[in-house]
Amino acid sequence: MTDEPRPLSERRKSRPVHVGDVQVGGDAPVVVQTMTNTDTADATATIEQIARLADAGAEIVRIAVPDKRAAAAVPEIVTKTPVPLIADIHFDHRLALTSIAGGIHGLRLNPGNIRDADKVREVVKAAKEREISIRIGVNEGSLPPIRALADGE
Per-residue pLDDT tens digits for 29-87: 999 999 999 999 999 999 999 999 999 999 999 999 999 999 999 999 999 999 999 99
> How far is the C-alpha of 88 from the C-alpha of 135, rounded, in Å?
9
Q: Give the pairing of strands 85-89 and 60-65.
A: parallel
**Tally of helices (H runs) and strands (E runs) in the chain:** 4, 7
Distance CA 106, CA 99 (A): 9
Tell me the domain boundaries of the chain: 17-138
Beta bridge partners of 35: 62
Examine the pLDDT at 138 and tell me if it is beyond 90. Answer: no
* CATH 3.20.20.20 fits domain 17-138: yes
Residue 106, pLDDT > 70, answer yes
